[in-house]
Amino acid sequence: MIPIAKPYLTERESEAAEQAVLSGWVAQGPNVKEFERRFAEYTGAKFAVAISNCTAALHLCMIVTGVGPGDEVICPSMSYIATANCIRYTGASAVFAEVDPVNFNLDPADAESKITSRTKAILVAHQLGMPADLEKFRKICDRHNLKLIEDAACATGSSYKGKKIGCHSELVCFSFHPRKVITTGEGGMVTTSSESLRDRLTLLRQHAMASSSIDRHASAGKLSEDHVELGYNYRMTDIQAAIGIVQLERLDSIIEERRIIAKEYISGLSEIEWISLPTEEEGYFSNYQSFALRIHPGSPVTRDELIRVLGESGISTRKGVMTAHRETAYRDIYRDVNLPVSEAASDNSLMIPLYAPMSNDDIKRVINEIKKAFEV
């Protein structure tokens, strides 16, 4: 079976994890600090704060933005459910806007049309690794005095207008779940341009404890441990960070491999008139965290048939990105929500295998089986 995704871990990550274990410092410590330093340097952001996962990172970003009960945050419904969940954790409402039908990123015009006097922020996701149009969202947010937060769970190493995702907005959240381009098992990061937000995130991730673990360790019990507000345990471990440091060093070469596979798919599948493929417009650079095909109306093969046929020939696929408003946890609250573009995009798309390293034979097999399904 060709899997849909596979983490790219080597002896180097294994050795780094072993060293962290043997050092005795296994919770948040010096490796986390170093991972943050390198991640900020890589993305061109001023600061980076490591968090236990991207969902927790998004939750903290809502809190530091002041989002709470009665507020609204605009986001796509067509995204992993964590995008909307992090808004609801605070007691605020997620207000769903439509997405672009091909690249599945939040539609700026529809997002702007959903702004009300209660809107506090726009949470834009870089879906499947393809950057959203940040300049347009920046203008909308400035026009309406809103905060712009980026859900860059899928976009580590992607770039927009020549600059890495992570340095464009005040708050950008990343995921290092094994489905992502680099992984720490579970893991997340926030990059920020604001020193005060960095300090607040650092505080909140550690129970809002006034002193850090490193400071307390060095003080040998002399530092007091005041908890200055309601905090969380959203820490990353030093074992995870040790793996992350190695993964980050390899990130650009991993993305290079992924982009070669994406190119092969695009040239191999473009003759099928019934599908559309991801398009990388001028100024957009995707890490191709996932590769989605969209099946056109009237196609002789439906999305679900294609999934079945590929599965029977040993190729794993996944249905397109979900829509949160149709999930059980949302359905009743969002009964009156009308998102035909998102629903059609979700229902008619699927993800095909893309991971590094992927053999040429496997890439060809995927292309050939899809062409065979469409009798091309």
Ligand X SMILES: Cc1ncc(COP(=O)(O)O)c(C=O)c1O
The binding site for ligand X (CB under 6 A) comprises 53-55, 79-80, 82-83, 125, 151, 153-154, 175, 177, 188
Q: Are the CB atoms for 373 and 312 separated by under 8 Å? A: no
Q: Are the CB atoms for 136 and 169 separated by under 8 Å? A: no
The distance of closest approach from Cβ of residue 185 to ligand X in the complex, given in angstroms and rounded to an integer, is 10
The distance of closest approach from Cβ of residue 240 to ligand X in the complex, given in angstroms and rounded to an integer, is 12
Nearest to 189 by CA among 262, 118, 253, 240: 240
Q: Are the CB atoms for 32 and 188 separated by under 8 Å? A: no
In the complex with ligand X, which residue's Cβ is closer, 175 or 349?
Answer: 175
The distance of closest approach from Cβ of residue 54 to ligand X in the complex, given in angstroms and rounded to an integer, is 3
Buried/exposed code over 337-366 (b: 16+ C-beta within 10 A; e: otherwise) = bebebbbebbebbbbbbbbbebeeebbebb
In the complex with ligand X, which residue's Cβ is closer, 83 or 202?
Answer: 83
The distance of closest approach from Cβ of residue 127 to ligand X in the complex, given in angstroms and rounded to an integer, is 7
Q: Are the CB atoms for 26 and 239 separated by under 8 Å? A: yes
In the complex with ligand X, which residue's Cβ is closer, 146 or 173?
Answer: 173
Q: Which two tokens stand for residue 135?
A: 């300049």
The distance of closest approach from Cβ of residue 286 to ligand X in the complex, given in angstroms and rounded to an integer, is 14
In the complex with ligand X, which residue's Cβ is closer, 103 or 272?
Answer: 103
Q: Which two tokens stand for residue 196?
A: 């005060």
In the complex with ligand X, which residue's Cβ is closer, 80 or 160?
Answer: 80
Nearest to 278 by CA among 345, 212, 333: 345
The distance of closest approach from Cβ of residue 289 to ligand X in the complex, given in angstroms and rounded to an integer, is 8
Q: Which two tokens stand for residue 267?
A: 């040239």
Q: Is 312 buried (19+), middle (13-18) or exposed (0-12) by CB count in 10 A?
A: exposed
The distance of closest approach from Cβ of residue 223 to ligand X in the complex, given in angstroms and rounded to an integer, is 31
> Which stretches within 24-115 are classed as H helix?
30-43, 54-65, 82-88, 108-113
Contacts of 129 (CB under 8 A, 6+ apart): 154, 155, 158, 181, 286, 287, 288, 289, 290
In the complex with ligand X, which residue's Cβ is closer, 82 or 203?
Answer: 82
Residue 90 phi/psi, 5° resolution?
A: -85, -5
In the complex with ligand X, which residue's Cβ is closer, 153 or 306?
Answer: 153
The distance of closest approach from Cβ of residue 70 to ligand X in the complex, given in angstroms and rounded to an integer, is 24
The distance of closest approach from Cβ of residue 86 to ligand X in the complex, given in angstroms and rounded to an integer, is 8
Residues constituting the chain: 376
In the complex with ligand X, which residue's Cβ is closer, 83 or 247?
Answer: 83
Q: Are the CB atoms for 98 and 327 separated by under 8 Å? A: no
129: left (phi over 0), alpha (psi -120 to 50) or beta: left
In the complex with ligand X, which residue's Cβ is closer, 54 or 339?
Answer: 54
